[in-house]
Amino acid sequence: MEEQSKPGKLNVLIGTSGSVATIKLPTIVQELSKYEMLEVQVVTTPSALHFFEPSQLVTAKGEPVKVWTDEEEWQSWKKIPDPIVHIELRRWADVILVCPCSANTLAKISNGLCDNLLTSLIRATNPKDTPVIIFPSMNTLMYEHPLTRKQIKIVAEEIGIEVNGPISKTLACGDKGLGAMTEWRDIVDLVVTRFLTKKMSIGNTYLVESCRGQRQ
């Protein structure tokens, strides 16, 4: 793998899937990058690329953010002991977010499918060791479907993945109701308050306020 972990930094791996809420991804990435003790990389599904261009993902300083695709999973491996991308990414990450998590990706995760880089990554991750948080985003009727309730229960109770959201608002399709992804500001705040401050407090006396002071 060409991307290596930097000592002392919180490594945040963001998976994104084919939901219109993916248009919020550039903002989430840029806001997280303002914290100098935090490193971000992105894993995208093919359908998510309908909503953003990898070149849109840049840090607050304008530097490109690494975006991993399905193609790289296979291009990097030719023979033993070549690196396996989804395993190397699991080792790199301190926390994994799937935002947004589409109905399709939710169904795949709950059933253990690993047919792309993102689902392979999730299948290879033990949430007890590396926290995994999904942020569902779908139409209200899709969210209220009986299968969705079952899948969320499996993901949360049997696999141990945290489910955050969705929230109620006017959706991209014009419908009003439950199904929108958690607000991007709340996603950023969750990462900072729950994970970055903990990472920085190990071996020192940093508090939430000092973490926020690390913004570039």
Residues identified as active-site: 173
Output the six-digit token pair for 71: 């193609």
Length of the chain: 216
In angstroms and rounded to an integer, the radius of gyration of the C-alpha atoms of the chain is 17
Hey, how many other C-beta atoms are within 10 angstroms of the C-beta on 196?
25
Q: Maximum Cα–Cα distance for the chain, whole Å?
A: 51
* Residue labelled with tokens 């990450």: 93
Strands 176-180, 167-170: pairing is antiparallel
Cβ contact 28:187 at 8 Å:
yes
Sign of CA dihedral 8, 82, 69, 46: negative
Tell me how far apart the alpha carbons of residues 140 and 153 are, in angstroms, rounded to a whole number: 18
